[in-house]
Structure formats: structure tokens, C-alpha cells
């Protein structure tokens, strides 16, 4: 574990509104059915975004929107912030799982870092089949094919903005591979723990470690990382010899498309409304959308939720370690899934374990107190599900 100091300028930057987490709407399906994904444009034109989706009784379905205009504003502010604070700029997504939505978000990040280049040459890049969604590496690699010296001109524009902007975190500083080269190079649940273990540093273009502004646009999971960073800044690095370990029991969907939303994610072409409509014509969920917004629906069947709880509780009883379910009551899906978790817990374990506050915990308004829990392990032998 690298050394942390109170002077560290490393932080997480995240959206608090107009992202997937804040716009999320959720429902529980009452009976086996099909849902139509209907888009009604502002001019009244109606179209289907995909074929009807089969759903079964008890499964949780949600719909959320990343609002493009708010995302662009947020990203521009973070590029300026990293420059002003003298820290590396980095973005942390999960394009390997969110295969449709996160590459689109990544493209917005690339545009935000090189606004002048895309404003001036955006149409040329589109005509050449070069998309920022594929990463800076792909765009730069395709410039030589643009004729009449225009490719070299665009490359010079990229290099000028790279020099003028904040220093970019690097995947491989020796090879010049930046954090923005490939959407899947920096995966949040691997990159953020690695950064925290290394004094809150990432590698800069000069081959040296440096404090970093870690940009996680959607705030679904950003809070836990900021909480740990603040704890390390105040109390130093965690000590693996005393903090113990926390096994992760993840909720696994029956199909990858459910968890990753691959077949239910759409970049909206024009303003309108997306509605999920059942076979009887009832609107189950709806979201107002604007041009460029990313609409994403997810589904989680009841049985995997029950199996998730049973697996965690069974493991806890076998090992004697407490099981804590970190559920955010402010998320739309939590009231839908929490009763299922609670009922399964009650049928599986006879006693309750509840997390206690400590001087190192986050304020009660935050759903994250993982760092405090790690530094202050409970002696209670019981197991339960806790909603925080």
C-alpha cells in the first residue's frame, strides 16, 4: 500500500443529477408478459426501438437516462478543474460490461478533452468513419488515411489541445497510451482500487505518479471510492494485515444482456418520450429524452435476487463473517429488491447483524461507509441484510 498524506489532491468527480442513478425509475412485473419499447418523437411520430421484451412475474425492470447536455457540461467542468488543481485527468467506466452505454459516454469524454478539434474537424472525422466512442487511439490511427494533408492538420490540433489541457493519466506512459485511448483499458472496479492502493496516484505522461481527478460520470458507485479516499487522506493507507478482507458476492443475472443492458440501450436521435408498454396497453415506465441522451433499461429476475441473498448468507454462516447488503434507499430499484432480500434473509438466518457508526464513517446521508467498516470490524457473529 502506498503512503497517503493529508495534502493529497486526489478526488472523485461525479454527477449528482441527470445521470443514470438519479433518473432511474423501477417497477416489479406483476405477471408474465411482454413489454414494447415505444418512442414517441416530439412531432408525434411513433416507432419501436426493439422487438417486444419478454418478462416474467416478480422480476424488477428499470429505465434510466444519461442526459447528454448535462454530461457535456459536467465533463467540460472536470477538464477545467483538473487543469486548475494541477492533477491528472482520468475517466473510469465499465465498457466491458455496459457495452453500449459506456462507449458512448467515453466518446463524450474524448470530445470534452479536445473540444476545439471536434468543433472544427468533427464532420471530417465522421466522414472518415472515426468515432471518439472507439477511443483516441482509433481516431489518431485513422488520420493518415484522410487525404490532402488534412489528417496531419487534425493530428496537430489534437497535439495542441493535449499540451494545453490537464495532464492525462496514462495506461502506458512509455508507449504514449493515454487513459482516453481505448474505452475498455480502464475498468472502474479494477482501476480505482489500484489507484487507491498507490497513494491515490496514477501514472502521468512524464512516467511519474501523480494525484488524480478520477471522473466517474454516473454516481451509482462513485461514493464508495470518494469515501475511501477521504478516509485515507485523513488516516493514512489501510493496513492489509489488520483490516481483513471482504469477499464480494455479486448478483448474477440469468443473461448477460440483462445485467449489461446491451439489447435495451439506445442513443436517442431526437427529443421525445420512451415508454415501456405492456400487452394491455398500460405504460409501465417512461422517460422524457432529448437528442443525444442515452436511454438504458435493465431487468433482474426474482430468482437471481433470492439466490444472491442465499449465497451470501450461506457463506456468512459457513465462515462466521457478517454479511452486509449495501443497498441505497435513494435508488429506485432498492424499494423493489429490498423486500425480496429481506424476506429471503428472514427465512435463511435467525439473527440480525447491523452495521454501527464509527468516527470514521461517512455522514448518515451517504450510503457508503465501507472504509469505516473495514477499519472497525464487528465482533458480532450474527448475519443479516442491512439497508443503508
Does the pLDDT value for residue 352 go beyond 50? no
Query: What is the residue range of 340's domain?
Result: 301-388
Domain-terminating residue out of 241, 271, 291: 241
What are the percentages of helix, strand and coil residues in the chain, rounded to 5?
40, 20, 40
Does the pLDDT value for residue 217 go beyond 90? yes
Residues 182, 95, single domain; the answer is yes
Residues 227, 89, single domain; the answer is yes
Residues 231, 120, single domain; the answer is yes
Domain-terminating residue out of 241, 273, 293: 241
Give the per-residue pLDDT at 301.
85
- Is 316 domain-assigned? yes
Give the per-residue pLDDT at 320.
86
- Is 2 domain-assigned? no
Residues 137, 213, single domain; the answer is yes
Residues 182, 320, single domain; the answer is no
Taking CA 85 as the corner, what is the angle to CA 162 and CA 21, rounded to the nearest 5 degrees?
A: 85
Residues 202, 313, single domain; the answer is no
Tell me if residue 83 falls in helix, strand or coil.
helix
- Is 63 domain-assigned? no
User: What is the phi/psi pair of residue 170, to 5°?
Assistant: -115, 145
Residues 174, 314, single domain; the answer is no
Helix (H) or strand (E) holding 107: helix 101-113
Give the per-residue pLDDT at 63.
96
Taking CA 95 as the corner, what is the angle to CA 90 and CA 100, rounded to the nearest 5 degrees?
A: 130
Give the tens place of pLDDT for each residue, 93-126. Answer: 998 888 899 999 999 999 999 999 999 999 999 9
Confidence of residue 344 (pLDDT cuts 50, 70, 90): low
Cα separation of 64 and 25, whole Å?
6
Cα separation of 210 and 187, whole Å?
19
Residues 87, 193, single domain; the answer is yes
Pick the residue with more confidence: 385 or 15?
15
Confidence of residue 353 (pLDDT cuts 50, 70, 90): very low
Pick the residue with more confidence: 375 or 306?
306
Give the per-residue pLDDT at 179.
97
Domain-terminating residue out of 190, 225, 241: 241
Residues 76, 223, single domain; the answer is yes
Give the per-residue pLDDT at 363.
33
- Is 338 domain-assigned? yes
CB 353 within 8 A of CB 383: yes
Residues 326, 198, single domain; the answer is no
CA dihedral 252, 253, 257, 260 (to 10 degrees): -40
Share of the chain above pLDDT 90, in %: 68
Taking CA 30 as the corner, what is the angle to CA 29 and CA 36, rounded to the nearest 5 degrees?
A: 50
Give the tens place of pLDDT for each residue, 133-191. Answer: 999 999 999 999 999 999 999 999 999 999 999 999 999 999 999 999 999 999 999 99
- Is 26 domain-assigned? no
Global pTM? 0.86
- Total number of domains constituting the chain: 2
Residues 109, 225, single domain; the answer is yes
Residues 80, 198, single domain; the answer is yes
CB 104 within 8 A of CB 267: yes
Amino acid at each position: 500500500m502506498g503512503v497517503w498524506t493529508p495534502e493529497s489532491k486526489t478526488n472523485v468527480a461525479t454527477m449528482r443529477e441527470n445521470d443514470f442513478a438519479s433518473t432511474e425509475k423501477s417497477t416489479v412485473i406483476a405477471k408474465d408478459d411482454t413489454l414494447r419499447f415505444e418512442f414517441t418523437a416530439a412531432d408525434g411520430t411513433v416507432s419501436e426501438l426493439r422487438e417486444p421484451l419478454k418478462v416474467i412475474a416478480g422480476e424488477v425492470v428499470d429505465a434510466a437516462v444519461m442526459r447528454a447536455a448535462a454530461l457535456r457540461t459536467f465533463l467540460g467542468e472536470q477538464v477545467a478543474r483538473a487543469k486548475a488543481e494541477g492533477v491528472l485527468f482520468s475517466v473510469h467506466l465499465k465498457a466491458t460490461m455496459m457495452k453500449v452505454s459506456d462507449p458512448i459516454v467515453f466518446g463524450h469524454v474524448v470530445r470534452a478533452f479536445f473540444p476545439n478539434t471536434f468543433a472544427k474537424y468533427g464532420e471530417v472525422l465522421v466522414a472518415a468513419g472515426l468515432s471518439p466512442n472507439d477511443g483516441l487511439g482509433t481516431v489518431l490511427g485513422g488520420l493518415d488515411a484522410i487525404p490532402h494533408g488534412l489528417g496531419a492538420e487534425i493530428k496537430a490540433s489534437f497535439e495542441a489541445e493535449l499540451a494545453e489541457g490537464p495532464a492525462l493519466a496514462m495506461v502506458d506512459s512509455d508507449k504514449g497510451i493515454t487513459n482516453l485511448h481505448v474505452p475498455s483499458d480502464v475498468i472502474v472496479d479494477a482501476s480505482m482500487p489500484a489507484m487507491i492502493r498507490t497513494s491515490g496516484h496514477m501514472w502521468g505522461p512524464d512516467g511519474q505518479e501523480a494525484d488524480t481527478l478520477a471522473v466517474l460520470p454516473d454516481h451509482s458507485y462513485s461514493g464508495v471510492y470518494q469515501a475511501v479516499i477521504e478516509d485515507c487522506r485523513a488516516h493514512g493507507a489501510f493496513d492489509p494485515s489488520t483490516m481483513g478482507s471482504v469477499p464480494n458476492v455479486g448478483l448474477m443475472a440469468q443473461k448477460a444482456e440483462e445485467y449489461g443492458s446491451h439489447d435495451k440501450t439506445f442513443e436517442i436521435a431526437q427529443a421525445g418520450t420512451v415508454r415501456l408498454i405492456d400487452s394491455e396497453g398500460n405504460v409501465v415506465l417512461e422517460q422524457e429524452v432529448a437528442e443525444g441522451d442515452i436511454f438504458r433499461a435493465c431487468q433482474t429476475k426474482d430468482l437471481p435476487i433470492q439466490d444472491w441473498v442465499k449465497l451470501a448468507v450461506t457463506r456468512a454462516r459457513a465462515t462466521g463473517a457478517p454479511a452486509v447488503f449495501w443497498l441505497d434507499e435513494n435508488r429506485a430499484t432498492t424499494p423493489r429488491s429490498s423486500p425480496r432480500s429481506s424476506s429471503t434473509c428472514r427465512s435463511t438466518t435467525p439473527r440480525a447483524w447491523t452495521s454501527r457508526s464509527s468516527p470514521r464513517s461517512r455522514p448518515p446521508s451517504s450510503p457508503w461507509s465501507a472504509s469505516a467498516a473495514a477499519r472497525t470490524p464487528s465482533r458480532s457473529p450474527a448475519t443479516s441484510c442491512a439497508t443503508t
